[in-house]
Amino acid sequence: MVGGSNSARRSLKNKRMLTPRTSENAGNAENAGNGTSPGASQARRPRAPFSLVPLRSRRSRRFLTSGSALLLVLFTLLLISGLVLGALTFLESGVEDYGALNHQFRARQLARSGLAFGLNPQVSNQDIALLNQKFKPNGEFHVVITSESTKLNVNSLLSQGRDDILQTLFLQWNVSLGAVNDVINGLKKWTNGNQEIQPVGTNVAQPQEEEETDVGQQRGIQLVRPFLSVSEMAEVPGFNAVIQAKPNWADYFTVWSDGTIDVNLADPGMIALVTGVTPATATQFVKRIWGPDGIPFTTDDQPYQNWNDVMLALGMSEQQFQIVQNLLSLTSSVDRVESIGSVGKYSVTLSVVAKRSAIPVAYLLWQEK
C-alpha cells in the first residue's frame, strides 16, 4: 500500500507539471492529495469560472497612473519654461531700459557741454569746430547761437505805441484789416489790465513839451500787465485769426530782448518791416554783411560797425533814420543758445536765453526738449 501510494503521488506531480494550472485543476489536485473526491470539494466551495478581468483592471490602473505622471511632468516642464521665459523677458526689458536711460543721460551731458561753449561771450557761430564736436563711439553735440534781438519784443512795441509795425506784419500774413485791429486792441487791453485804451488807428499827435526826449525816442507807456511769455499772446481774444494765417507766428516775437533789432543778425524781412525800406534794399543790406563769399557766419563777414554805415546802406536820410534808429542796435544784448546732444538715436535739446556779456552770465530762460 505504501508503494502504490507513492507511485500515485509521483504520477499526480508529473501531471501537474504538464497540465496548465487553472482553478479547476488546482482544486482537483488538492482534492486528490487530500484523498477527497472532486464532488466533496465542490460541495465545500463553489467553483469560480475562469476570468481575465482582474488582470485587465490591474493593467488599466497601471496605465492611468503612468499617464497621470506623464501629464504632471509635462505641466511642470511648461511651468518652469514659462517662468524662465518670463524672467528672461523681464531681464531683457530691464537691460534695455537701463541702456536707454544711460544713453539719455549721456546725451544730456553732451548738450550741457555744448552749452558751456555756446554761453561763452567770446564764442560766435563762426567757431564751427567748437560748436560742433563728435565723440567716440557715437556721441556728438551741435550748438547754434541766435539773437533774441532778431525778433519783435511785443511788450516794447506796445509800450512805445508802435501799432503800425504790428499792423503791417499781420497784414503781410493776409489777416483781414478788421481782424488785425481787433487783435492789436486785444493786445493793448491785456497789457493795460483791461483798462480803457486808445483804439488802433486813432493815434493823435501829442503836443511837444519843453523837455523833449532824445532824438528818435518816443515816450514810453507803462504796461500794467506785460506778457511774460510769447505763448500768452495766443490767449488774447481774436488772436486765432493770426494763428490760422501764420502757424509759426511765435517765431517772430520775444519778451526777452531789449526791444531793438540787431541789424547784423536780422533777416531781410525783419529789416524791411522795422525800417520801412523795400525788400530788395533790405536783401542787399543783409548780403553786404555776409562778405565776398555770400555765406553767413564765416570769417569774411563784414558786420556794420557804426550808424552812419547802416544809414547809408539802407538809403535813408538823417531825418528818416532818426525815426527808426531807436528800434535798431549793432549788437545783441540777449542771445538764445540751443545745444543738441546726441548718442545714437537718443538726443536732448537744451535751449537757454541769457545775457552772455553779463558777468556772471544772466540766465533768463532754460528749456529742455
The C-alpha atoms of residue 353 and residue 365 are separated, in whole angstroms, by 5
Q: Which residues contact 127 (CB under 8 A, 6 or more apart)?
A: 117
Of the candidate ranges 17-26, 108-117, 123-132, the one whose mean pLDDT is the lowest: 17-26
Angle formed at CA 96 by CA 91 and CA 101, multiple of 5 degrees: 125
Q: Which residues contact 246 (CB under 8 A, 6 or more apart)?
A: 173
Dmax (CA) of the chain: 174
pLDDT, tens digit, 9 for 90 and up, residues 282-298: 999 999 999 899 888 88
CA distance 325 to 260: 9
Q: Is 141 helix (H, G, I), strand (E, B) or coil?
A: strand
Cβ partners under 8 Å of residue 152, min gap 6:
165, 166, 169, 252, 253, 254, 261, 270
355 forms beta bridges with 362
* Global confidence as pTM: 0.66
Q: What is the DSSP letter of 209?
A: P
Question: Residue 185 has what pLDDT?
Answer: 93
pLDDT tens-digit map of 239-271: 999 999 999 999 999 999 999 999 999 999 999
| Confidence tier at 64 by pLDDT (50, 70, 90) | low
What pLDDT score was predicted for residue 26? 46
Mean pLDDT of 34-49: 50
| Residue 117 binned pLDDT confidence (cut-offs 50, 70, 90) | very high
When pLDDT is averaged across residues 32-57 and rounded to a whole number, the result is 50
Q: Which of 224, 226, 288, 295 is nearest to 255 (CA)?
A: 226
- Cell 496548465 belongs to 20
- Give the E-state strand segments of the chain in sequence order: 132-135, 139-147, 152-153, 253-254, 261-262, 328-329, 335-343, 346-355, 362-368
pLDDT-derived band at 83, boundaries 50, 70, 90: confident
Whether the CA torsion 155, 161, 164, 170 is positive or negative: it is positive
Q: Report the helix count and the strand count for the chain, using DSSP H and E.
A: 13, 9
- Cell 477527497 appears where? 36
The verdict on whether omega for the bond into residue 360 sits within 30 degrees of 0, i.e. cis, is: yes
Nearest of 348, 359, 276, 284 to residue 319 by alpha carbon: 276
Q: What is the mean pLDDT of the chain?
A: 81
Beta strands in 22-151 (DSSP E): 132-135, 139-147
User: What's the start-to-end Cα distance of the chain, in Å?
Assistant: 123
Report the pLDDT averaged over residues 68-85: 81
Q: How far apart are CA 230 and CA 175, in angstroms?
A: 19
The yes-or-no verdict on residue 340 having pLDDT over 90 is yes
Is the separation of the CB atoms in 192 and 209 below 8 Å? no
Q: Which residue has the cell 502757424?
A: 247
The cell numbers describing 317, all together, are 536820410
With cut-offs at 50, 70 and 90, classify the pLDDT of residue 5: low
Write out the three cell numbers for 67. 499617464
Indicate the pLDDT class of residue 205, thresholds 50, 70 and 90: very low
Helix/strand/coil for 293: coil
pLDDT higher at 198 or 361: 361
Q: Do residues 162 and 145 touch, judged by C-beta distance below 8 A?
A: no
CA 69 to chain centre: 54
